[in-house]
Structure 1
Amino acid sequence: MNALLLPVLLCLVSAVAYAGAAIVQERVAATTADGSCGPLRRPGWWGAVALTGLGAGLHVVALAYGPLSLVQPLGALTIVFALPMAAAFARRSVGPAGWRGALLATAGLAGLLTLTRPPHAETLDAAQRPLLAAAVLAAAAVLALGARWARRAVVRGVALAAAAGAAFGMGSVFTKAAAQDWTSHRTGSLVFTLLAIAVLASAGMLLSQASYRGAGLAAPLATVTIVNPVVAAVAGMTVLGETFRYGVPGGLLAALAGGLATAGVVTLSRLTPDRAERETTIAVRGRTRVPGPRRCLTHAGAAEPE
């Protein structure tokens, strides 16, 4: 059996679980009007929590058996699975712009992470972990506070999703470190790392739930999908000494991939649910020959346009 087959399969199932959780979260946010604590009283929200826990558990196992450079790019499959799942199960049309944005975001993210070299160090230094956790939580708090001033629901959702992605991304870095601590029997730093993972995961879950309120599914999910591994990659480059492959050409290709991912997020951030419905209707009509204006007879015999 190929050594990479198991982590790849685990990542696939994890992405499906994360996608299902995102769809349920968006539906709960769209149908709950009881404020920030309303979702806690909805069974569906706790189902999303269970799916997120399943996805996170499979992600942890994948990190234990596979390299970070493989596991993190496969996380981009979440949005690839979420869009058709939302169309099939939630009866929520995505529209051509949604598909274009998702493909751009996924392609850019996959290219960016493919160009990132594997880490030189297997784990984080114990002294660096409190600083990294505090920095990410502070950045997430700034984004969450800034989201309160956003006038458009989509902009607010993207800001909250970026905060959630930062928390999830650093949580993945800490998870990899915790796996190495466990195998190396470094219990001193393991306790703090597990507590940091719990705080980061809880913050990411609450922020991602808030990001779906009024913003639809595509834009917040795309933002989380991009920010999550980008934060992990930045942590690897700044703390673990990782660099892009192929030197200067690799850096230019990485910049191009980042531009594609940004274009995808911008496309999705401008797509509201109502606009997605209109664009889907236009696309369907465009594939069908529409005859000229016809008239039908009413019961009184008068002609009336259809």
Structure 2
Amino acid sequence: MSALALSVLLSLVSAVAYAGGAILQERVAATTPGQGYAPLRRGAWWTAIALNGLGALLHVVALAYGPLSLVQPLGALTIVFALPMAAVFVRRRAGATAWRGAVMATVGLAGLLSLTSSSDSQSLADAERVMLGLATGGGVLALMVAAHAAHRHPVVRSVLLACAAGAAFGIASVFTKTVAVDWDRDVAFLEQAPTLGAIAVLAAAGVLLSQASYRGAGLAAPLSTVTVVNPVVAAAVGLTLFGESFRHGVAGTVLALACGVVAAGGLVLLTTERIARETSTVTVAQGGPAAPAAPTAPATERGRAHKSAAGTGEGSATPPAATPVLPGVPSQPPSSAHRRSRSRHPRRREHIAS
């Protein structure tokens, strides 16, 4: 098996592992709302961490055998695998809009990164690594602050946290590719220790941020956001620092921009579908279904009853409706027939009065 084919196979298995971990993370977040450390006591969460670790390990090996511009777009298959896996294993079916958004995001991303031409393997200088690490840390921190400010809008908060997770994962992949290139050049381990530490911090931050992004927003929107942002960030670094460029010159650049628009449109579809579903769920939870109205009499009968109650005469065709007497509430004045009945029995009235 060639190195390129092995890289593709490892990337596919890595995408499946990441999809399984994402599904378990979303289920843990849904069953432990508002409990910060509750996931740590759940076996399903640790299983998700193990799957994510397996996916990361396979991803690292794939980066060692294949170019960054090939391995990263294959990671976009995570969302393609996640939607049917969620329908099979946890009986959570995505709507038609979510499927269209997932397909658009994946196709647009694959087209965007397929137009990226890879050059010879390059490493990053120490100054470039420091600048990239500081820029990533600042961007992730800014997204976290924005997500905290949007805590009243769960879907917006989820997308912001997923963007931060995708950026952390993408830069971790860039540093991983750098370490793999340095190992091929027999660079000493101690010289790579800071980069390995940065990879560990970014990977852990990505896992925690992605876990937080699933809370209150389901699976589709945060997973698609991470899946899109991760390779886009890695490809941007590859274009600027690794000497990669778009194929076919100006025409390739235009096609790449079009693919980026398609991927962004898919992300918008996934997010808007989730917002609509969440809005309907919140409306039902707050107001509930409207209680059925009590049956009312026809308009003609209501009009007759109203005329009778207003005192239109004793000979009215419709007798006045009976009114329940509540404690402490004076009843209506007695009718004329009732007054005549009481006048025929004065003793009974006196007895009652006494």
Same fold? TM cut 0.5? yes
Offset at residue 257 of structure 1 (A): 0.3
| Equivalent residue runs for 1:267-282 within 5 Å | 267-272=269-274, 275=277
1:242 paired residue number:
244
Identity %: 61
Whether 2:146 is the aligned partner of 1:108: answer no
1:123 partner SS: coil
SS at match of 1:36: coil
Highest RCO, 1 vs 2 (Cα 8 Å, sep ≥ 6): 1
1:57: which partner in 2? Answer: 57
How many residues are matched? 277
Task: Give ranges in structure 1 of 5+ residues lacking alignment.
Answer: 279-306
Instruction: For residues 52-75 of structure 1, give each alpha carbon's deviation from its aligned partner in whole angstroms, at most 9, with x where no partner exists.
Output: 000000001111111112111110
Change in 2 beyond 3 A, CA 1:243/1:209: same
Q: Counterparts of 1:42 and 1:141 in 2: how far apart (Å)? A: 28
Alpha-carbon distance in 1 for matches of 2:34, 2:156: 22
Deviation at 1:120, TM superposition (A): 4.6
Q: 1:112, 1:254 within 8 Å by CA — same for their partners in 2?
A: yes
Give, in angstroms, the shift of residue 273 of structure 1. Answer: 8.5
Shift of 1:5: 1.6
Matched residue, 2:29: 29
Distance across 2 between alignment mates of 1:274 and 1:35: 25
Trace 1:76-95 onto structure 2 (pairs within 5 A).
76-95=76-95
Q: CA RMSD in A?
A: 1.6
Letter of the 1:141 counterpart:
L
| 1:12 to partner: Cα distance | 0.9
Per-residue Cα deviation, 1:204-242 (whole angstroms, up to 9, x for no partner): 000000000011100100000010011111111222232
Bigger Rg, which one:
2
Q: Aligned partner of 1:170: which letter?
A: I
- Kindly provide the amino acid, as one letter, of the partner of residue 167 in structure 1: A
Distance 1:13 1:240 in 2: 26
Quote the Cα distance in structure 2 between the aligned partners of 1:169 and 1:144.
Answer: 17
Shift, 1:121, TM fit: 4.6
* Aligned counterpart, 1:185: 186
Inter-partner Cα distance in structure 2 for 1:7 and 1:175: 15
| Stretches of structure 2 lacking an aligned partner (at least 5 in a row) | 281-354
CA distance in 1, matches of 2:240, 2:9: 30
* SS of structure 1 residue aligned to 2:235: helix
Displacement after TM superposition at 1:181 (Å): 1.6
Judged with a 3 Å threshold, the aligned counterparts in structure 2 of structure 1 residues 46 and 273 are, in CA distance, closer, same or farther, namely farther
1:163-206 deviations in whole A, cap 9, x for unaligned? 00000000000001111122212124311110010010011000
User: 1:37, 1:137 → 2: CA distance?
Assistant: 24
1:20 correspondence with 2:20: yes
Per-residue CA deviations over 1:230-276 (Å, capped at 9, x if unaligned) read 11111112222322111111111011000000001111111228839
2:318 matched residue in structure 1: none
Aligned match of 2:73: 73
